Each structure stands twice: as structure tokens, then as C-alpha cells.
Amino acid sequence: MTKYKKIYVLDTNVLIKDPEAIHRLGDNIIVIPIIVIQELESFKNESELRGASARKALRIIDEYRSQGSLSQGVFTKTNGQLIVDCREIEWGELSGNLKQSNDLAILLVAKRYKREKALRDIILLTEDIALRIMAASFGITVETYKNSENIKRIEELSLGTINIDVPTSCDDYLTQLSNHGHLPVDIFSLPDGMYANQCCRLKKSDGKYNL
């Protein structure tokens, strides 16, 4: 008998809890609804842990674009498949007394996969209690994302924003940053104790900031 891979539909809070959740779900199929991408985008400029997690999750997803169409699915590093589902939400599947929301959009993506992939195990991963209750009422298998490593990895994420003074002689580098999106790390004197993925504000000689 063919062993069908599980299909995991991820809620935004899973990627906030662990930006590398995609790589921890083995060789299964990971579906990220497009609304999740939009929510990560709305969080990415925050200076605390949620913003750092959102930035890292978006970078990981973006790295897979070079492999092909995310909407069609690309292979992950763990021999799974990553799909960004950007199809129109079927709001008509809801009863008339329910208001449209991001949570319900994610639930409806899981519901569509349950209908289309009847032989597969469709699992909605979420940390949201209310969404778990609603998913269960729709007959969708729902689980809380569990990862024993996420607490150990807190220090890998930015815990806030730091300021870096940019000498007048280096103002031109900020133009380079704007044009190319990156700079060599040896241009500025970086403070001790920085974290990977730390959000930095570069303070120019005129007192203005570039994030």
C-alpha cells in the first residue's frame, strides 16, 4: 500500500513560534496560505521577538523561490514539499452568520485540501485555541505545533532593535544599502553581543535613521 504523506496547513503563529517549522515537519507537504505571508509581512518591522521571527520565516520561504513556483510546490531540505496556496478563498463554504477573518481563511484552505486530497491526512497546525475549536467543528484534524528545540533557539532571533552610528564618510554606503539590500559587515563598528537576525537602525550624520 502506498504511504501518503501528511499535508500540514500552517497558521501564522506556528512560524512565529518557530520560523524553521518548515524544516521540522520532515518529508511531508507543508501548505502556507497566502494570508499567512501577509500577516508575516505586517509583523516583520516590529522590533521585538515577533518581528524577528517574521523576518526569519519570510527569508526561509523566499530562499525556496529559486527552485520553482511556490504555488505549484517546491522540495524542501528535508525532502518534503512547500506550497504557498494563493488561490481565492471560498467564503461561500461558511454559514451566513460567520464574519470573514484571517483565521477563517486559513481554516478554509485546510477544508479545501481535505476535500481535494481525501486520501491524505490533512492537519491544521495552530497555537490558536479558538481556531482549533472551529477547525474541529468543521471536521478538520487540528494539532498544536510542538518543537522541543524552539526554547533553545530563542537567542538566535533578534530581541530588539539596536542603533549604529554611521560616520559622515560612510553616508554613501547607505545609498548602496538602499540599492542592493546588503552591505559588508566590516564597514561599521558593530557593538558586542549582537544576535543573528538583529534589526539595526543606521543613524546617519544628519541624525536621520535608516532601518
pLDDT digits (tens, 9 = 90+) for 96-112: 778 899 999 999 999 99
* Mean pLDDT, residues 45-59: 89
**Confidence check: pLDDT of 186 > 90:** no
Is residue 160 predicted with pLDDT exceeding 60? Answer: no
Confidence of residue 154 (pLDDT cuts 50, 70, 90): very low
User: Is the CB of residue 133 less than 8 Å from the CB of residue 116?
Assistant: no
Instruction: Check if the beta carbon of residue 67 is closer than 8 Å to that of residue 119.
Output: no
Of the listed ranges 18-22, 52-56, 106-110, 184-188, the least confidently predicted one is 184-188
Strands (E), 74-158: 74-75, 81-85, 122-125, 141-143
Share of the chain above pLDDT 90, in %: 55
The angle, 0 to 180 degrees and rounded to 10, between the axes of the packed helices 102-116 and 34-43 is 150
* Average pLDDT estimate for 142-148: 81
Check pLDDT > 90 for residue 83: yes
Burial 133-150 (b: 16+ CB within 10 A, else e): ebbeebebebeebeeeeb
Candidates 201, 179, 182, 206; CA nearest to 190 is 201
- What pLDDT score does 12 carry? 97
Question: What long-range pairs does 176-184 form, CB within 8 A, spacing at least 24?
Answer: 177/202, 177/210, 178/210
Which has the closest alpha carbon to 61: 116, 103, 10? 10
8 A C-beta contact, residue 131 and residue 109: no
pLDDT of 93 above 90 = no
Q: Mean per-residue pLDDT for 109-118? A: 92
Write phi, then psi, for 200 (nearest 5 degrees).
Answer: -120, 140
If pLDDT is split at 50, 70 and 90, which confidence band does 16 have?
A: very high
The answer for residues whose C-beta is within 8 angstroms of residue 91's C-beta and 6 or more apart is: 100, 108
Question: Residue 2: what pLDDT?
Answer: 47
149 pLDDT more than 60 = no
Determine which helix (DSSP H) or strand (DSSP E) holds 116, and give its type and residue range.
Answer: helix 102-116
Q: What share of the chain is helix, strand, coil (3-state, %, to 5)?
A: 40, 15, 45
Q: What is the mean pLDDT of residues 134-158?
A: 71
More confident residue, 98 or 58: 58
Cα gap 128→107, rounded to integer Å: 12
E-strand ranges in the chain read 7-10, 29-33, 74-75, 81-85, 122-125, 141-143, 161-165, 199-203, 209-210
